[in-house]
Structure 1
């Protein structure tokens, strides 16, 4: 099975990353899906999305869970029936799940030059320390996006803005961690961030 990487950032938290090599048929044959999950996956128009969805169910199995143990609230945030916290992500041929006793969020994104075109939509404060001529500019933009997406998943509050409410403290590419803040409705929330790069992808996860 293509379990790509397991990370244990602390005693209460585990991250598992899956490299999606299997076909749709191979992914679906070994798992049991709830009726609404099966309906959802069959309704997906893209096989890439189907395989991403199914790979997440295989990651759940790596944690000892089944699809039936997972449910979503009215804001679309995933939860586990045993009360542990979970966050889920997939991008192209990678997916990841983080499970913890703590409040967490995770995101994976493919590193692509076109992120520079939309940078102004999700970056404000961070432009103060970014340098467009730097060789790692796209990598840094992707890290910042992943951090803010993980914060969004963690906070899961309608109206939260990447640009206005999420701040990523300066970091160096040789680092693997930083600090991020959510500044929302006159309250500030501090989060520890870890990030890593692999095979042209970036992953970041936030831990409260």
Structure 2
């Protein structure tokens, strides 16, 4: 694996992105897995899903600076956590990259997506009319900034019942290659506001947020 991006946002929060260059066998050789994790690994389809799962765990060990076993289960909604460390974590992957974010400040979320034309065909599934109105036609990068922002907040709050379309609203913003947008999440009768940071990373879009 090659570390291609390491960023410390402050003393409490950091994230890293790795380019996956190893085989599944090479990645597995750098891990210690318990019976639960081995069962999880066996349940994955071979190929990218296996590489992504293994790579995020290897990267997690890199950020925690340990080669020993790390317990990283998931809660009932599939949100990963570290029972033996003080960090909140979020994992992401896309094609040849894997990413991990961790923070002692609060819950966090990170998302990495390769930018492709197909997002134009599904934009109405995750953005409302009042959101689409401030995005120029065909602006793929801004569409992906919105998608990554919603995905990052979705991971942060860890509730499978949240809808990108119905429960999340992005306020108007002017796209830059690196910027910040405001996202409002309505969960039951509570309205929460998040500042989500986004940036273009090679041919990918990256979004991250911390409570």
Change (3 A) 1:174 1:201: closer
TM-superposed deviation, 1:100: 0.3
| Equivalent residue runs for 1:100-119 within 5 Å | 100-101=103-104, 102-119=106-123
Distance 1:180 1:130 in 2: 15
The within-5 A match list for 1:44-63 is 44-63=44-63
- In the TM superposition, residue 67 of structure 1 has moved relative to its aligned partner by 5.5
1:99 matched residue in structure 2: 102
Contact 1:86 1:105 in 2 (8 A): yes
Q: Map 1:51-90; keep pairs closer than 5 Å.
A: 51-64=51-64, 68-81=70-83, 82-90=85-93
Which of 146, 159, 176 does residue 144 from structure 1 map onto?
146
Q: Which runs of 4+ in 1 moved over 6 A?
A: none
Between 1:95-104 and 1:66-75, the stretch displaced more is 66-75
Q: What is the CA deviation profile of residues 79-122 of structure 1, one whole-angstrom value per residue up to 9, with x for unaligned ones?
A: 11124211111111111111001221111111111111111000
Contact in 1 for aligned 2:177/2:199 (Cα 8 Å): no
Aligned to 2:195: 192
Quote the residue 2:209 is aligned against.
Answer: 206
Contact 1:60 1:67 in 2 (8 A): no
1:12 alignment partner in structure 2:
12
How many angstroms does 1:181 deviate by? 1.5
CA-atom RMSD in angstroms:
1.6
CA distance in structure 2 between the partners assigned to 1:99 and 1:92 by the alignment: 21
Equivalent-residue separation in structure 1 for 2:149 and 2:175 (angstroms): 14
Larger displacement relative to structure 2 (97-106 or 23-32): 23-32
Q: Say how many residue pairs are matched.
A: 205
Aligned counterparts of 1:11 and 1:145: Cα–Cα separation in 2: 27
SS in structure 2 of the partner of residue 164 of structure 1: coil
Equivalent in the alignment of 1:123: 127
Does residue 1:172 correspond to 2:175, yes or no? yes
Gap change, CA 1:63 and 1:44, over 3 Å in 2: same
- Give the TM-score of the pair, scaled to structure 2: 0.90
Kept after mapping to 2: 8 A contact 1:105/1:205: yes
Q: Choose 77-86 or 47-56, whichever is displaced more.
A: 77-86
